[in-house]
Amino acid sequence: MYGTASGVYQYGATNIATKGQGSFRVSGLAANTHYYFRLLPVNVCAVGMASNELSLQSKLDLQAGVAEIFADGAESLPYSVEQESSGSSPVTEERIRQDGYELALTVTLDDEVQANKSLHVDDLEAVTDESGTASFSGVLAGNHQVSLFSNGRLYETSIQLSGTDRVQNFTLRFSSEQPEAAWKTWLNRLKWPLVGTTLILVIIFIFFRKKRNDEGDQE
């Protein structure tokens, strides 16, 4: 999603990248204009956390209004959502609309099972058992916000309920480590090239200084 003002995104596109694909071409941009972009990762199970806002300005000589926006970093999000097959018999869509889904959510934080924790699905609340699983009944189809409060911090994600499998099982894996900031990533990438360049410059400086001193001694 993107727009011409920070935090206001009038435009968007879906299915712009898959795993292993690193770029997406945006067309129809105006020349010499600031644009603000955010990426929103989505899979069949859930909508992920939006990326940091990226700002860029289109060129004066922009041809056909095309810019390339990189979609890296989708796998560094601080949680993952996996939907598992329940093995239950499908029911009719009418029954789903009437009774909702039976939902089981298994939660881990930093690969540790979250037992006896309060878990919310929208306004519904349940406590996880010793295996880290919380059960909910009568959850309607659609997108739902899931939140976990653990160790003084709030963790959130969302899940999508659909289909005729009335029993829905999800595994939510949260991480307490936040994704590395973009500037830190670039700094780490540039660190060793900068060190190498500095060493080369120092060696060149020492060489020419020694050469000048030798020439002075000969005079």
**If 0-12 CB within 10 Å is exposed, 13-18 middle and 19+ buried, where does residue 128 land?**
buried
The residue written with tokens 């206001």 in the block is 8
> Do 86 and 55 share a structural domain?
no
pTM of the predicted model over 0.85: no
User: What CATH number should be reported for the domain holding residue 98?
Assistant: 2.60.40.10
Residue 185 vs residue 171, higher pLDDT: 171
Lowest mean pLDDT among 15-29, 83-97, 194-208: 15-29
Kindly state whether residue 218 falls inside one of the protein's structural domains: no
> Do 190 and 163 share a structural domain?
no
> Do 65 and 144 share a structural domain?
no
**In whole angstroms, what is the distance from residue 21 CA to residue 70 CA?**
9
> Do 100 and 59 share a structural domain?
no
> Do 84 and 46 share a structural domain?
no
**Two tokens, residue 102:** 């039976």
Structure confidence at residue 116 as a pLDDT band (50, 70, 90)? very high
> Do 56 and 89 share a structural domain?
no
> Do 93 and 68 share a structural domain?
no
Closest CA to 172 of 192, 194, 196, 144: 144
Residue 132 is predicted with a pLDDT of: 93
Residue 124 is predicted with a pLDDT of: 92
* Residue 189, amino acid: R
- pLDDT 10s digits, 52-108: 777 776 654 433 333 333 333 333 334 455 655 556 667 788 888 888 999 999 999
Mean pLDDT of all residues belonging to the chain: 76
Q: How many CA atoms lie within 13 A of 82 on its CB side?
A: 8
Residue 139 is predicted with a pLDDT of: 92
| CA distance readout (Å), 175 to 107, 153, 157, 193 | 11, 11, 12, 31
Q: What is the mean pLDDT of residues 151-155?
A: 81
> Do 130 and 160 share a structural domain?
yes
> Do 54 and 7 share a structural domain?
yes
> Do 31 and 87 share a structural domain?
no
Residue pair 79/175 in contact (Cβ under 8 Å)? The answer is: yes
As for how many domains the chain has, the answer is: 3
pLDDT above 50 for 17: yes
| CA distance readout (Å), 71 to 24, 86, 89, 211 | 7, 33, 39, 51
> Do 64 and 13 share a structural domain?
yes
Kindly state whether residue 65 falls inside one of the protein's structural domains: yes
Full residue range of the structural domain in which residue 19 is found: 1-75
Structure confidence at residue 178 as a pLDDT band (50, 70, 90)? low
